[in-house]
């Protein structure tokens, strides 16, 4: 190994994993190289890196790619993309950056956007072909939406709140005092681009002025200073009117929408909670507006692990909010790959591919599991194995009956360190 401390500690950890595998005498695998041979390879410096680590800070953050666990094998397409790599489109009033299927080719079903709006900064009135789910990460914002009955919805959201705007519903977002906001947008289409939405000022700029005048019952002169193209994100004054005033004015005589497009995610009681962490599952069963996106907000305490599982109904798009983790995705036919995750990374797991997410840091790991589905569902390996005839499990794993009865009974969601 290169003579840097992190590489040496990585090497030691990997060697211990290798030694444990060899001791387990797993026998031959589908791989041409047995775990024992591979372990020998690392031990005899086949895996050493005398030239030193490439991109040292990236290497340190991606230890499981630089020196994969001995159980990784074969060609599994990458399932990580850091928002840090994304172009940050900055305009007066805020910025946006996105991760789509063009950035992360495996991510077919969901695209994500990270956006900042200053106090008063506006994401222009717009709509799009994808449904939009959002989590407020910082600060506060006032959002507007028009429902399918033509009735307005206006609400203020703050850190820990979510919203959902169905495809085609027009909406806006504006940062509030004192410092605007930052949030994550999740779209139910991997090909969605935040830079290709239907915007009010873009449409009016590309409509004959005589048509606009006729439509609005205005003179063309009254329209002489409309924008010449999209605004996208722009600085404006912080709203001086209260939420109640804005609602009353917008409602007019049709009234407000009877639908609720916001949900106080972090104010709900956890769906699962124990000493290893907590999970909040929000799908259309409790947040009715969110018809095409299901979410799980997961907190894993240090040493804990989101248990081995998979999802029957949809691909999983992940966003890492804080802490650090590693995840191995098993892709059948002897193929498995482990990747490391930090704050701001996007992860992705295709439907039915099993995985775990282990907290590898010293702080809480907080991340989102997002699904293009009206409902959340998973299969827990522990739950499966503890609801079978024990002799059947014993015949597969070659472990004794006492070991089988020691496996956590039922779905634990998060297992302790």
Binding site for Mn ion (CB under 5 A): 132, 316
How far apart are CB 357 and Mn ion at their closest, in Å? 7
How far apart are CB 171 and Mn ion at their closest, in Å? 6
Q: Residue 390, preceding bond cis, omega within 30 degrees?
A: no
- The single residue of 42, 278, 369, 411 carrying the catalytic annotation is 369
Our CB check for Mn ion shows the closer of 119 and 414 to be 414
- Structure tokens belonging to residue 131: 């449904």
User: What is the rounded distance in angstroms from the CA atom of residue 107 to the CA atom of residue 128?
Assistant: 19
How far apart are CB 349 and Mn ion at their closest, in Å? 6
User: What is the rounded distance in angstroms from the CA atom of residue 336 to the CA atom of residue 21?
Assistant: 16
Q: Which residue do the tokens 């522990």 mark?
A: 382
Q: Which residues of 44-53 are buried (b: 16+ CB within 10 A; e: fewer)?
A: eeebebeeeb
Longest distance between any two alpha carbons in the chain, whole Å: 86
Our CB check for Mn ion shows the closer of 14 and 97 to be 97
Q: What distance lies between CA 127 and its chain's CA centroid? A: 22
| Pairing mode of beta strands 132-146, 181-187 | antiparallel
Q: Is the dihedral of CA 305, 309, 313, 316 positive or negative?
A: positive
How far apart are CB 298 and Mn ion at their closest, in Å? 9
- Cβ atoms of residues 93 and 117 within 8 Å: yes
- Cβ atoms of residues 280 and 263 within 8 Å: no
Phi, psi angle pair for 391, to nearest 5°: -65, -30
Our CB check for Mn ion shows the closer of 182 and 316 to be 316
Our CB check for Mn ion shows the closer of 202 and 316 to be 316
Instruction: Establish whether 369 is a catalytic residue.
Output: yes
Catalytic residue set? 369
């Amino acid at each position: 190994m290169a003579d840097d401390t992190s590489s040496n500690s990585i090497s030691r950890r990997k060697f211990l994993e290798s030694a444990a595998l060899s001791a387990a005498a797993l026998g031959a695998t589908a791989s041409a190289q047995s775990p024992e041979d591979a372990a020998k390879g690392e031990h005899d410096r086949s895996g050493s890196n005398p030239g030193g680590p490439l991109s040292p800070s990236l290497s340190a953050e991606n230890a499981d790619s630089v020196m994969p666990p001995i159980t990784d094998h074969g060609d599994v397409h990458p399932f990580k993309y850091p928002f840090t790599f994304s172009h940050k489109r900055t305009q007066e009033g805020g910025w946006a950056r996105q991760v789509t299927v063009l950035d992360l080719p495996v991510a077919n079903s969901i695209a994500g956007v990270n956006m900042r709006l200053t106090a008063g900064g506006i994401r222009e009135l717009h709509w799009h072909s994808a449904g939009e789910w959002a989590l407020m990460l910082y600060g506060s914002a006032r959002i507007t939406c028009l429902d399918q009955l033509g009735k307005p919805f206006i609400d203020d959201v703050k850190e820990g709140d979510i919203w959902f705007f169905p495809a085609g519903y027009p909406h806006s977002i504006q940062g509030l005092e004192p410092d605007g906001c930052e949030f994550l947008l999740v779209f139910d289409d991997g090909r969605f681009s935040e830079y290709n939405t239907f915007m009010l000022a873009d449409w009016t700029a590309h409509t004959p002025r005589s048509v606009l005048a006729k439509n609005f019952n205005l003179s063309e002169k009254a329209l002489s200073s409309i924008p010449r193209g999209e605004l996208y994100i722009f600085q404006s004054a912080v709203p001086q009117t209260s939420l109640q005033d804005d609602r009353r004015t917008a409602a007019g005589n049709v009234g407000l929408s009877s639908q609720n497009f916001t949900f106080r995610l972090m104010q709900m009681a956890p769906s699962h909670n124990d000493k290893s962490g907590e999970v909040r599952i929000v799908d259309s069963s409790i947040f009715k507006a969110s018809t095409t996106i299901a979410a799980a907000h997961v907190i894993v305490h240090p040493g804990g692990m989101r248990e081995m599982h998979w999802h029957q109904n949809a691909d999983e798009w992940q966003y890492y909010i804080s802490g650090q983790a590693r995840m191995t995705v098993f892709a059948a036919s002897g193929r498995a790959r482990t990747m490391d995750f930090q704050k701001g990374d996007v992860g992705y797991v295709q439907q039915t591919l099993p995985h775990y997410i282990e907290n590898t840091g010293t702080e809480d790991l907080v991340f989102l599991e997002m699904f293009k589905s009206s409902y959340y569902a998973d299969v827990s390996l522990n739950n499966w194995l503890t609801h079978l005839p024990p002799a059947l499990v014993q015949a597969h794993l070659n472990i004794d009956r006492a070991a089988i009865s020691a496996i956590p009974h039922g779905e634990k969601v998060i297992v302790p360190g």
